[in-house]
Amino acid sequence: MADNRGGPAHDPPETVADVGEFGLIERVTAGRVQPATTLVGPGDDGAVVAAADGRVVASTDLLVEGVHFRLDWSTPEHVGRKAIAVNMADIAAMGAVPTALLVGLACPATTRSEVAEGLAAGMWQEAAAAGAGLVGGDVVTASEIVISVTALGDLQGREPVTRGGARPGDVVAVCGRLGWSAAGLAVLGRGFRSPVNVVGAYRVPEPPYAAGPQAALAGATAMIDVSDGLLADLGHLVEESSVAIDVRTDLIEVHQRLVDVGTALGADPKHWVLTGGEDHALAATFPEPAAVPAGWRTIGTVTRGGAVTVDGKPYAGGPGWQHFR
């Protein structure tokens, strides 16, 4: 509550209860421009989205305050961008182009309306950057902030790239940042706010959306969004493809910025790269080294077996993130 003693009178901050469900929806949708794929946008029972090739890719995620984000570490705009980015990364990991997003916001009635509007602004920003529309949503009362996002995508006539197609002899490559979000989280956890590009990587991942369709066109045999950590997510490829993957640390780039942060915090930056989640890089397998597209970095090979190894051995540093564990 505002404290008015000894100063000019301030109104208490406007809350979502002041604005109301329909008022809030009006505010966050009015005047927004939709892409051509949005045939019927927000405001009806359902949206209608073009699915030109007769199929639609769909993925959904939940983000919970205190679990997936903290509003003392990120602005509402950051959180909104992140919520959209993590979902569109899943679409890209199938080899598809994001077309549309549906969003749910559960929050306390006392939530400041500028928080809800900031979340929405970040969502619109990230969606627009990828050419996707924000086509529908729901706003409800809850005791904490929970954001749901469902992303839709278009395969543009290509076959989806699943987790199950890797074959022995394939090469493993990645595109996008690895370890940056984990480094940013470590920095924030120690009470620091810089380096800003490392902290920024935690606040808003930058998935390489175009690299998903690019990999599909290049003949990627399997692909995954690196959300839980490189080794953990390669573990999903290994499981679904019934293969083994060996990662070679001499092929793993550790950016000088991460080395600097690791030195400052007494942490091993290579561990962030191998196990840090939430950067939403893409990892894929390709049938031969020549198939690896520009911008992708080869990091290992697919072999027979059923495990992920690092330089031929089980990784000693522990696994990636799993909920409830």
Instruction: Please report, as residue ranges, which positions from 88 to 107 form the binding site for a copy of itself (by CB under 8 A).
Output: 89-91, 93-94, 96, 100, 102-106
Report the site for a copy of itself in 150-189 (rule: CB under 8 A): 150-153, 155, 160, 162-164
Rounded least distance, CB 319 to a copy of itself, Å: 11
Query: Using CA atoms, how far apart are residues 175 and 262, in angstroms rounded to an integer?
Result: 22
**Cβ nearer to a copy of itself, comparing 150 with 303:** 150
Peptide bond before 12: cis, by omega within 30 degrees of 0? no
* CB-based contact 273:179 (threshold 8 Å): yes
> Of 20, 189, 306, 314, which one interacts with a copy of itself (CB under 8 A)?
20
Query: Using CA atoms, how far apart are residues 89 and 175, in angstroms rounded to an integer?
Result: 12
Q: Is 204 in the site for a copy of itself (CB under 8 A)?
A: no
**Cβ nearer to a copy of itself, comparing 87 with 309:** 87
Q: How far is CA 12 from CA 21, 28, 85, 118, in A?
A: 19, 21, 33, 18
> Of 156, 242, 263, 322, which one interacts with a copy of itself (CB under 8 A)?
322
Query: Using CA atoms, how far apart are residues 184 and 261, in angstroms rounded to an integer?
Result: 9
Contacts of 299 (CB under 8 A, 6+ apart): 172, 173, 174, 247, 248, 251, 252
DSSP 8-state code for residue 99: E
Q: Is 35 in the site for a copy of itself (CB under 8 A)?
A: no
> Of 3, 7, 11, 22, which one interacts with a copy of itself (CB under 8 A)?
22
Rounded least distance, CB 138 to a copy of itself, Å: 5
Rounded least distance, CB 50 to a copy of itself, Å: 6
**Cβ nearer to a copy of itself, comparing 90 with 270:** 90
Rounded least distance, CB 322 to a copy of itself, Å: 5
Q: Is 291 in the site for a copy of itself (CB under 8 A)?
A: no
Rounded least distance, CB 213 to a copy of itself, Å: 13
Q: Is 241 in the site for a copy of itself (CB under 8 A)?
A: no
- Identify which range of 28-36, 118-126, 141-149, 291-299 contacts a copy of itself by CB under 8 A: 141-149
Rounded least distance, CB 102 to a copy of itself, Å: 4
Rounded least distance, CB 4 to a copy of itself, Å: 25
Q: How far is CA 142 from CA 75, 82, 112, 150, 300, in A?
A: 20, 21, 14, 19, 45
**Cβ nearer to a copy of itself, comparing 143 with 256:** 143
Four-residue CA torsion sign, 21, 23, 24, 30: positive
Q: Is 127 in the site for a copy of itself (CB under 8 A)?
A: no
Rounded least distance, CB 318 to a copy of itself, Å: 15
- Identify which range of 143-151, 203-211, 251-259, 295-303 contacts a copy of itself by CB under 8 A: 143-151
Q: How far is CA 305 from CA 44, 96, 239, 246, in A?
A: 51, 29, 10, 10
Can you give the length of the chain in residues? 325
**Cβ nearer to a copy of itself, comparing 195 with 319:** 319
> Of 13, 27, 32, 40, which one interacts with a copy of itself (CB under 8 A)?
40
* CB-based contact 147:79 (threshold 8 Å): yes
Is residue 298 classed exposed, middle or buried when 0-12, 13-18 and 19+ CB atoms within 10 A define those classes? middle
Q: In what order do the strands lie in the sheet with 146-154?
A: 133-141, 97-107, 146-154
Q: Is 3 in the site for a copy of itself (CB under 8 A)?
A: no
**Cβ nearer to a copy of itself, comparing 63 with 130:** 63
